[in-house]
Structure 1
Amino acid sequence: MPPIPLLLSAGEASGDMYAARLATALKQRLDVAIFGMGGPHMRAAGVEIITDYAEVSVVGITEVLKRLPSLFRAMSRLVDEAERRRPPLAILTDFPGFHLRLARKLRPRGIRNVYYICPQFWAWRPWRVNLVRRRFAQALCIFHFEEKFYADAGVPVKFIGHPLVGNVKPTMTREFFCKKYGLEDGDPIITILPGSRRGEITHHVPVLVEALVEIERIMPGSYGVVVAVAPGLDSKKLKAMFPPQWQVKFIDKDTYNALAAADLAIVSSGTATVETALLGKPMIVVYRLSPLTARLAKPLVRTKFLSMVNLIAGRAVVPELIQQEFTPQRVATEAGNLLSPSKEGRQRVEEMLRGLEEVQRLLGPPGAVERAADEIRKLLNAVQSNAK
């Protein structure tokens, strides 16, 4: 028999990473031919990429309008390919603005939809959970508090734990990292994760550059600055946004080691904050949208916190500087507090590390991807049995 076709789709960098791991786990369990939308990780995992997520990856309400033609083209390609290959299941990874619409188009064609990495509808526009109930046969959530939210709305849901647990580990010592990248081992290291989308880079980097100037002013001395370049970003273009005389180290494909070596991380809100928490590193979370998008989005937000670390803990474990609070002065002040050798500074870091340990516990045990693959295998077997 030929391999079973499965559609697997991810619309941004973290989803591409999670979906790639799922593709590998599914291939270990089933004879499948996986195709869909994704990026470098999925491609490396043997997924046939019909459309690259770089065409559609965008954040913000107003920013989406500029990318509508690309979004429509990607949607059309995926639907056409699904019609041609007739997969019994479509596994859609987060990215709700696109995937809710794709699910609506696939369901009437007899394709059962699985939501892998449920959207965070509990945080904003929670009424959209009803669309998941109507369009998806199964939802797989990665945060413990999501299971009740989706179950209460009538969605068939399973908590699988976070896919990053057990996978976020450094591969070298700080000493070796410093030697490899030309850093002084004895100096404090600030590692910056400015974001994975072009819009995030545009909004974040100018503020971060000014913040580094301010940090140097209030904390004179020698320290290393590392910028971890997300997959899909052009490191040369990113480097050009920093003053050429600065000794900033731009690092590709080595984010976990860059974080593990850090005394402080400044991190764009999103999956990277969970990775930083799993490595137990003090952090400042930052994020900024365009002013118009922020004004439009503000009435839709339903949570006290925006960073995943604080949401998981249910309290303010790490400082989050969002929108107008994300200024060079605020970043520098928070950095000074966390890097201070004073008793108060050490106590602040120790308290944060205790909070991060709590977050690590709440993320669940290792094996989330394997549990997801097992659930999908069960659903696929049920679909095939009903078709006989």
Structure 2
Amino acid sequence: MTLRVALIAGEASGDQLGADLMRAIKAQHPDVSFEAVAGPKMRAEGCREIGHIDELSVMGISEVVKHLPRLLRLRRDLVQYLIEDEPDVVIGIDAPDFNLGLEKRVRKAGIPTVHYVSPTVWAWRAGRVNTVAEAADLLLCLFPFEPDCYRGTGLKALFAGNPLAADIEGPMDQAVARKTLSLPVDGEVVAMLPGSRSGEVSRLGPLFLKTARALRAKRPDLSFVVPMAGEKAEAAFASLPEWRRMDFPVHMVRGKARESMAAADVVLAASGTATMEAMLLERPTVVSYQVSPLTHALVRGLKLIKTPWVAMPNVLAGQAMFPEHLQSEATPAKLAGSVDALLADPGRRTVMSQQCRDLADSLRAAGPATAARAILELAATRHSAQTPAS
């Protein structure tokens, strides 16, 4: 009997997750058909498109408000379609504000539902565990500690591997990375990653350049590389007065963030995906971030953040493995002090790299095949329930 799977993806990362999952399901159950709100990678895996991923890709509060009526109509239409179509399982990939409501309605109609990617209930809005439990029969998590957050809810939560860990298989050769970037093969290198968005670059770029100046005063032979995510980020960085006043080389490159981190002895990074990449590349890292004073006051006043750390590697480690300097603590002197301390202590860097390796191994302990097995088991229970007793 052909297995019929519906998937709803809401952004580029979801398109990649969906494509990987489709491939794994086909490997275990070749007689399967897919229909999806999809992007190019999912379409390449062979789904019938019932919506385009761009219809859900809305970022920022103002944009969401602007598009809310259209998004609500889209969700209503998809729910009606899925209930009438009756696939064997519906999989919502991330986009929790859209997908959890859809999954809840479809599940009430008797169709098994899966939510792929746990909301960050461990960091803020812990009450969402109940919302997820009402919406899904199965939750696929990207981090091994997340299933424990759902104990007592009745929801089956499963660690299904981390796609970034699967993509970065281990450290890159430092000498090769330096040659690729035309950096000195000998000597110390610091990679600075002030963020991927132009707003982040404008906010953290001056701080990182001042930090570089403070480090250079202590270590005159120190080299710096700054990878920029794209043209807008590069333009924002190049327009900074601190950049124009640089009187020593800072090597700016387009893209090549992973090569830049691999080339470095120490990484200075904005909190975000870069810290995970640095961990998976086993590079010692110092983390920084700043938001507007109003945002920071609201987050603190409402006690929205539940973890003592902002960098995911530290959350995974359960300790400040990577030094963090945030808000008023993010000063050139403090950042330079933490980077300099790591440069001065090869033994500490070795220990940190081993900690990174252990965490990376834990993230690679599962993968799309694990997720596919759980989905097939869920779909099989529906088939057995629908089969009349002989």
Please indicate the TM-score interval, normalised by the length of the shorter structure: 0.7 to 0.9
Q: Are 1:153 and 2:150 counterparts?
A: no
Q: Identity over the aligned pairs, expressed in percent?
A: 30
Corresponding residue number in structure 1 for 2:254: 250
Distance 1:191 1:147, change over 3 A: same
Residue matched to 1:321: 325
Deviation at 1:115, TM superposition (A): 1.8
Structure 1 CA distance, aligned partners of 2:194 and 2:105?
A: 35
Q: Aligned in 2, Cα 1:281/1:377: closer, same or farther, shift over 3 Å?
A: same
Unaligned runs of 5+ in 2: 245-249
Is residue 273 of structure 1 aligned with residue 275 of structure 2?
A: yes
Q: TM-score, normalised by structure 2?
A: 0.80
Which structure 1 residue ranges, 4+ long, deviate > 6 Å from structure 2? Answer: none
Distance in 2 between the 1:262 and 1:91 partners? 40
Q: Deviations over 1:26-58 (max 9, x none)?
A: 2333422242255x6545555646132883244
What is the SS of the residue equivalent to 2:251?
A: coil
Equivalent position of 1:22 in the other structure: 21
Equivalent of 1:241 in 236, 244, 247: 236
Residue-pair matches, total: 366
Deviations 1:168-195 (A, max 9, x none): 1369644443333333333544334444
Compute the RMSD of aligned alpha carbons. Answer: 3.2
1:127-166 matches, cutoff 5 A: 127-166=127-166
Bigger CA radius of gyration: 2
Q: Deviations over 1:242-267 (max 9, x none)?
A: 2276530111xx54434333322233
Counterparts of 2:349 and 2:53 in 1: how far apart (Å)?
Answer: 44
Give the aligned residue type for 1:35.
A
Which residue of structure 2 aligns with residue 36 of structure 1? 37
For residue 231 of structure 2, what is the amino acid of its counterpart?
K
Further displaced range: 218-227 or 103-112: 103-112
Give 3-state SS (helix, strand or coil) of 1:152's partner.
coil
User: What does residue 334 of structure 1 align with?
Assistant: 338
SS in 2 for 1:179: helix
The residue type paired with residue 23 of structure 1 is M
What TM-score do the two structures reach when normalised by structure 1?
0.80
* Contact in 2 for aligned 1:141/1:161 (Cα 8 Å): yes
SS at match of 2:91: strand
Q: Check whether the contact 1:12–1:54 (CA below 8 A) recurs between aligned residues.
A: no
- Please tell me the residue identity of whatever aligns with 1:186: D
The Cα offsets for residues 132-161 of structure 1, whole Å up to 9 and x where unpaired, read as 111111112233332222123322222334
Deviation at 1:106, TM superposition (A): 3.8
Paired AA for residue 37 in structure 2: G
State the partner residue of 2:77.
Answer: 80
Measured after TM superposition, the shift of residue 25 of structure 1 is 1.6
Look up the match of 2:247. Answer: none
Q: Secondary structure at the match of 1:52?
A: helix
Alignment partner of 1:284: what SS? strand
Indicate the residue corresponding to 1:168 in structure 2: 168
Deviation track 1:261-312 (CA, whole Å, cap 9, x = no partner) reads 3322233434443332122111122334444333333312222222211111
Structure 2 equivalent of residue 232 of structure 1: none
Instruction: Quote the residue 2:289 is aligned against.
Output: 287
Deviation per CA, 1:303-330: give whole Å up to 9, x if none. Answer: 2222211111111111123344334443
| Letter aligned with residue 249 of structure 1 | V
1:385 partnered with 2:384? yes
Tell me if structure 2 keeps the 8 A contact 1:121–1:128.
yes
Aligned partners of 2:42, 2:290: CA distance in 1, in Å? 28
Return the alpha-carbon distance in structure 2 between the equivalents of residues 190 and 145 of structure 1.
Answer: 31
Q: Secondary structure at the match of 1:242?
A: helix
| Aligned residue type for 1:315 | Q
Assess, with a 3 A threshold, how the Cα gap between structure 1 residues 131 and 353 changes in structure 2: closer, same or farther. Answer: same
Q: Structure 1, unaligned stretches of length 5 or more?
A: 59-63, 230-234
- Tell me the distance in 2 between the aligned counterparts of 1:373 and 1:266: 37
Alignment of 1:104-253 (within 5 A): 104-169=104-169, 173-195=173-195, 198=197, 201-219=198-216, 220-227=220-227, 229=229, 235-243=230-238, 247-251=251-255
Give me the whole-angstrom Cα distance separating, in 1, the residues matched to 2:125 and 2:143: 18
SS of 1:221's partner is coil
Per mean C-alpha deviation after superposition, the further-off stretch among 279-288 and 220-229 is 220-229
8 A contact 1:184–1:224 mirrored in 2? no
Residue of structure 2 equivalent to 1:61: none
2:187 and 2:144 map into 1 onto residues whose CA distance is 38
CA contact 2:287–2:325 (8 Å) conserved in 1: yes
Note the C-alpha offset of 1:240. 0.3
